[in-house]
Structure formats: structure tokens, C-alpha cells
Amino acid sequence: MTASPPQDDVARRELRAAVAALDAAEAAREPAHLSQVLAQVARCHRAVGALAEADWYAKRGLAVARGLSAVDASVDALCTLAELALERAERLDTQDEPRGAHRLRDASRDHAFEATKLAQHAADPQWEVTVLLRVSDLFDRLGDHEDAIALQCRALGLITGAEPSPRTEASPPRSS
């Protein structure tokens, strides 16, 4: 019986495969496929802890998705960017760099709010619910509990078919 490789080896192998797929997608010049592959490369970099690289590929993927007017891919990229910014902020907290961490938390909020706004235009209402709950979790991690609850209420309203009241809308992004 063969022992399974360590998780890091698996993640690195997946990253190499994703980069190879990116090379092929760039050569094929198919923007829709390129957007998906860029998202995969970003996920793989994130899995190996290369957050700055993951951020770079997610931003590239967002640019391609926006160029295609691909709402779902744009929303997913924005959520990924929001999560990456928070993870990078948490790393800076451990390095005692409060200014950089604060800037990244603000960027996380901005990406998250943009994602929830754009998700309203998704073709699938269930996708909007998924996004609202994903961003709600992010806001909870950021300590923005009122905004997290507001998004949960908005998601619940979509699930039940009830219209959310103005009180349950998340507040606008904070300026730095």
C-alpha cells in the first residue's frame, strides 16, 4: 500500500497543473476559459500560502470577467479578493504592521460590498444567497457584526421571497 503524499505536495502539484492550464488558456485566447483558469490559479496559490500571488491572479481574473460582463465570475473574484485581503491583514497583525492591516481590511470590505451589490444582477437567485452568506461570514470575521446580520437577513428574504426592509441593508463601505 502506498502512503498518500503530504497535503503540501498535493497543493503544489495542483498549482503546477493550474499554471499549465493557464498557459494553454492564454494560448487559446478564450476569455471565458481564461477567467476560470485564473480563478483556479488564484485558489491554488492561496492553498500553498502565496497570498500576494493569489491576489494578483484573482485581480487578473476579475479584469477578464468584467471585460466579458460575466457577473458570476466577477462576484466570485471579488469575494476571493475580499477573503485574501483579510487573510493578508491577519498576517500583518502577527508582524505588528497595523497600518497595512487596516488598509487591507478596508480593501476587504470594499471588495465584499461590491460583490453583494453586483450579486443582485446574477442570473441565479441562489447564487446571490450564497454570496450574501459568504460575505456575511467575512464581515463577521472583520468584526462587522451588524453588517453580517443585515446580509443574513437579506439572504433570508431572498430564500423566503420576502423583501428586506431598509433596516436590513448593509451599511456602505467605510472610508479610510
118 CB contacts (<8 Å, ≥6 apart)? 71, 74, 75, 78
Name which residue leads in pLDDT, 71 or 175. 71
Per-residue pLDDT, 57: 95
| pLDDT surpassing 60 at residue 53 | yes
Task: Find the mean pLDDT for residues 71-91.
Answer: 95
35-68: burial string, b at 16+ Cβ within 10 Å, e else: bbbbbbbbbbbbbeeebebbbbbbbbbbebbbee
Supply 167's cell numbers: 433596516
CA-closest candidate to residue 142, choices 155, 151, 130: 151
Please tell me the pTM assigned to this model. 0.82
Q: Stretch 73-83: mean pLDDT, rounded?
A: 95
Q: Which range (55-64, 125-134, 154-163) has the least confidence? A: 154-163
Mean pLDDT of 117-142: 92
pLDDT at 147: 95
Residue 176 has pLDDT above 70, yes or no: no
pLDDT at position 15: 87
In three-state form (DSSP H/G/I as H, E/B as E, the rest C), the secondary structure along 64-129 is HHHHHCCHHHHHHHHHHHHHHHHHHHHHHHHCCCHHHHHHHHHHHHHHHHHHHHHHCCCCCHHHHH
Length of the chain: 176
- What is the tens place of the pLDDT at every residue in 19-37? 888 878 888 888 888 999 9
What per-residue confidence (pLDDT) applies to 161? Answer: 84
Check residue 167 and give its pLDDT. Answer: 39
Q: What is the pLDDT of residue 97?
A: 86
Q: What's the whole-number average pLDDT of the chain?
A: 87
- Is 114 a residue whose pLDDT tops 70? yes
